């Protein structure tokens, strides 16, 4: 495939791509639609089946860590020059009666789902790119 076609492909970044989940299925769907897919999870071992597939750029990402977010963004921008589509699928489940879940665990869950630093890094990227995601 020539470079012009490669450059025209949309760059999709998906958080929470652990095998068997929604993010993983979305990553496969975007790859099947001829996109560059940056699939992320907290640990690469949870995406082992994507490891040898050249359609995927696998990255470890802890959305609660500013350094982790900066590293992934730097890697993606260095490799592709932009991000066109973002799917924020990172999260985890807390099960049990609300009164029995420690407050710190609830705060961590809330932060992962709603307040992670990825948003601010993406906004900075899009302001340089002069457009937002699709």
Quick one: average pLDDT of 12-38? 96
Number of C-beta neighbours around residue 127 at 10 A:
10
pLDDT digits (tens, 9 = 90+) for 66-89: 888 889 999 999 999 988 898 988
What is the pLDDT confidence band of residue 24, given thresholds at 50, 70 and 90? Answer: very high
Q: What is the 3-state secondary structure (H, E, C) of 7-24?
A: HHCCEEEECCCCCCCHHH
Q: Going along the chain, which residue ranges are E strands?
A: 11-14, 36-41, 56-60, 85-87
Q: Give residue 2's pLDDT.
A: 53
CATH numbers and ranges of domains, the chain: 3-129 (3.40.50.720)
Quick one: average pLDDT of 11-33? 96
Quick one: average pLDDT of 105-118? 70
Number of C-beta neighbours around residue 24 at 10 A:
21
What is the pLDDT confidence band of residue 120, given thresholds at 50, 70 and 90? Answer: low
Q: Is the pLDDT of residue 26 over 70?
A: yes
């Amino acid at each position: 495939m020539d470079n012009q076609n490669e450059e025209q492909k949309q760059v999709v970044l998906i958080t929470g791509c652990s095998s068997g989940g929604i993010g993983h299925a979305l990553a496969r769907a975007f790859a099947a639609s001829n996109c560059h897919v940056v699939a992320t999870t907290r640990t690469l071992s949870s995406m082992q089946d994507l490891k040898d597939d050249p359609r995927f750029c696998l990255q470890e990402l802890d959305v609660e860590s500013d350094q982790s977010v900066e590293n992934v963004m730097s890697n993606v921008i260095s490799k592709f020059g932009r991000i066109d589509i973002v799917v924020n699928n990172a999260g985890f489940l807390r099960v049990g009666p609300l009164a029995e879940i420690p407050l710190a665990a609830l705060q961590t869950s809330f932060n992962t789902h709603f307040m992670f630093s990825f948003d601010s890094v993406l906004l900075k990227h899009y302001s340089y790119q002069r457009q937002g995601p699709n």
